[in-house]
Structure 1
Amino acid sequence: MSTRRFDERDIRTRPNPRGSRPRTKQRPDHDDAVRGLVTGVDRGRYHLIVALDTPQEHVALAMKARELGRERVVCGDLVDVVGDSSGAPGSLARIVRIAERSTVLRRTADDTDPVERVIVANADQLVIVTALADPEPRTRMIDRCVVAAYDAGMSALLCLTKADLADPAELVAMYAPIGVEVVVTSRPVVDGERIIHGLEELRERLVGRTSVLVGHSGVGKSTLVNALVPGTYRATGVVNDVTGRGRHTSSSAVGLRLPGGAGWVIDTPGVRSFGLAHVQVESLLAAFGDLATVTTELCPRGCTHAADAPDCALDDWVATDPEDGPRAARVDSMRRLLAARAGDPA
């Protein structure tokens, strides 16, 4: 079976028979292009920061050049732009190149769709925001996000909100064996005002990094962003009492610089599913170095490494654990992620 990975660029459309052929094969080199960072996308217009981290830094607006075709420009991309990139009112530059991406966070529409949707580029940490109550946590969704982070080469940080409503101990214990760090926040009422406890610990985990915040609607993502980046005014919503789900308040990913230039956070719209059709088992196992060694050297060919897989070497490896515990917890966690990747409900 082919292991080729597909994305939006593999979708072909019939060209317009009139005016679709370029007048010349010589394409411009765009030697005068300037570099910009994409911080937001809004109906075909791209918000950029040009001359990043220099005294000339400024905001500009751009559109995608025709030569890029169906290649998608996303939040976090480093791009080259030509034209009027001054940022003056009414100015509009053109994005002509997308720089090589260090990481790409992807998802698919479902677990059978081979076409990947690129969400964010060049981030190094995925912050999975999950409420401990109102709405109730969905561990399968957390598992899927962890799988997507590991597949993208990103680290995963689990941020548990609303700890004033429920105990986080069970979820903390569940994700410790797979190397997922956890921070816990709460919003108790103090002197008539809600104060976010745990915000400083979260801020410390974001310093010097580009972090993507994902989670269901209503878990408190926008509330955290507003506290981390004062003056952002991201819209916040409430959870429906009947469905137990939040209302979408963010419509697109937006990159925001932390105060003092200490790092970047990218707030994404609330999600209700996270397809993993693009994830290969090998890339998931690579996140578990010790388990990958066992499966590569000892498992029979074609082994799925699932709990019901015959002759899986992981079972013997667990049985010989002298401490009778750490290995079993780690294998159980890995198999849970494999199950999430295979299509268990999120």
Structure 2
Amino acid sequence: MTKRRLSERQIERIRTIQERRRQRLESRPDIVLTELDAEAEPEEGRVVVRHGANLAVEDNGGHLFHCLSRQNIGHPVCGDRVVWQRIADEQGVVTAILPRTTVLSRPDFNGYAKPLAANLTRLVVLIAPEPEPSGYLVDQYLVAAETIGVEAVLVGNKMDLLDGAARTAFQNRFAHYPTIGYRTLWISLREPDTLATLIAGLAGEVSVLVGQSGVGKSSLVKALLPDRDIQIGLLSKATGLGRHTTSAATCYRLTGEGLLIDSPGVRSFRLGTIDRAGLQQGFREFRPYTGQCRFADCRHDQEPDCAIRQAVAEGLIAPERLANFQHLLGA
């Protein structure tokens, strides 16, 4: 049956209703502010999860509060440190976002940077024998880590799928990463002892796991967070967010006082707009040769007297890294 087309008047009426609803939603925090206890002191906290206008904020004592965000303070994201005030038991209003030390973003549909998580200290890049690893994607993650100033760790998961020579060959494909200073670990969830070094490295850090679909990210999160269901239950009880705690970026507590941000947004991660100089800085082994090419705007492709290509020829830079740089430069 053919769908009935709406008239312009009907379309305009629907738009008006939707705008009115949006304005009511946005005004909720400011309406709630009128209920603030005059004696309530501002407190600092961390955003654990956000879904729409609803935030779960953890105070410095580890207690969770359901908060709304005041208008015109920006858009808080998972991991943000914020200033908030209580309005009732286990409820509050976020009144300010504290300066971020780092922020992981990806471009939205319009090409603008959309923050995914804030105040990270570590980016854990997962690869696996299956699906076939993408060195190009790995280098995008590493450039992002260099750009925002966080430590990146490369983790090869599902290593139980490989034996003997096959495992050695797989590891050798990525041997250039530890050579240039990236810590590289090889693990298997079927071999729990292999997780010890990774778990120790996450202690005291604010980490996020990234990697292409199928590398075992969800299974690793469950292994690192044996009490994840309990933490989700506490979030749901405190905030009423329910199932949304698993569909939005969420900050979980690890043993050893570390934090792990599980973000669905990193499943389709890609770099945003970045100029040639910024991209080049994202390849850390290029830095000793910066400014040594004959041409200041050298793209390290066919130009004569290119210091980067000379370093590749001398075995000082992996050729696949230069190829990925050129690919990203032309993307």
Aligned to 1:64: 69
CA-CA distance at 1:73 after TM superposition: 1.1
Q: Which residue of 1 aligns with 2:129?
A: 132
Structure 1 residues 105, 182: CA separation in 2 closer, same or farther (over 3 Å shift)?
same
**Residue aligning to 1:78:** 81
Give RMSD over aligned pairs. Answer: 3.3
Distance across 2 between alignment mates of 1:148 and 1:250: 25
Q: Could you tell me which residue of structure 1 aligns to residue 116 of structure 2?
A: 119
Conserved 8 A contact 2:143-2:282: no
- Structure 1 residues 217 and 45, CA gap change in structure 2 (3 angstroms): farther
The answer (yes or no) to whether the contact 1:130–1:216 under 8 Å persists in 2 is yes
Look up the match of 2:220.
224
Q: Contact between 2:50 and 2:56, CA under 8 Å: does it hold in 1?
A: yes
SS for the counterpart of 1:40 is strand
Amino acid at match of 1:101: R
Q: Of 309, 317, 329, which aligns to 1:328?
A: 317
What is the CA distance between 1:293 and its match in structure 2?
Answer: 4.2
The one-letter code of the counterpart of 2:98 is A
Distance 2:310 2:44 in 1: 53
Q: CA deviation at 1:47?
A: 1.0
Equivalent residue in structure 2 for 1:46, among 55, 63, 77: 55
Match of 2:14 in 1: none
Cα distance, 1:38 vs structure 2: 0.8
1:312 equivalent in structure 2: 306
Asked if the contact 1:252–1:269 (Cα under 8 Å) also holds between the matched residues in 2, the reply is: yes
Q: Classify the secondary structure of the residue corresponding to 1:296.
A: coil
Match runs of 1:134-283 below 5 Å: 135-166=131-162, 167=167, 168-188=170-190, 195-233=191-229, 250-261=246-257, 263-269=258-264, 271-283=266-278
User: Residue 67 of structure 1: SS of its match in structure 2?
Assistant: coil
Offset of residue 49 of structure 1: 0.7
1:274–1:341 CA distance, 2 compared to 1 (3 A): farther
Structure 1 residues 63, 196: CA separation in 2 closer, same or farther (over 3 Å shift)?
Answer: same
Q: Report the CA distance between 1:45 and its aligned residue.
A: 1.1
Change in Cα spacing, 1:137 to 1:251, as seen in structure 2 (3 Å) is farther
Residue 334 of structure 1 deviates from its aligned partner by 4.6
In the alignment, structure 1 segments of 5+ residues that lack a partner are: 1-14, 21-27, 189-194, 235-248
Report the counterpart of residue 246 of structure 1 in structure 2. Answer: none
What TM-score results when the alignment is normalised by the length of structure 2?
A: 0.73
Is the 1:161–1:219 Cα contact (8 Å) retained in structure 2? yes
1:39-84 CA-to-partner distances (Å, cap 9, x unmatched) read: 112233111111x2xxx4411111111122xx22111100111242
Alpha-carbon offset, residue 96 of structure 1: 1.4
1:101 Cα shift? 0.6
Q: Which has the larger radius of gyration?
A: 2
Q: Is the 8 A contact 2:204 2:256 kept in 1?
A: no
Matches of 2:151 and 2:329, distance apart in 1: 18
Structure 2 residue identity aligned to 1:36? G
**1:305-339: CA deviation from partner (whole Å, max 9, x where unpaired):** 3x3345423234555xxxx42x132x652552452
User: Counterparts of 1:231 and 1:152 in 2: how far apart (Å)?
Assistant: 30
SS at match of 1:219: coil
Displacement after TM superposition at 1:95 (Å): 1.4
- SS of 1:84's partner is strand
Distance 1:317 1:288 in 2: 13
For residues 157-188 of structure 1, what are the alpha-carbon distances to aligned partners after superposition, in whole Å with 9 as ceiling and x for unaligned?
11211111133414432433443221111134
| TM-score with structure 1 setting the length | 0.71
| Structure with the larger helix share | 2
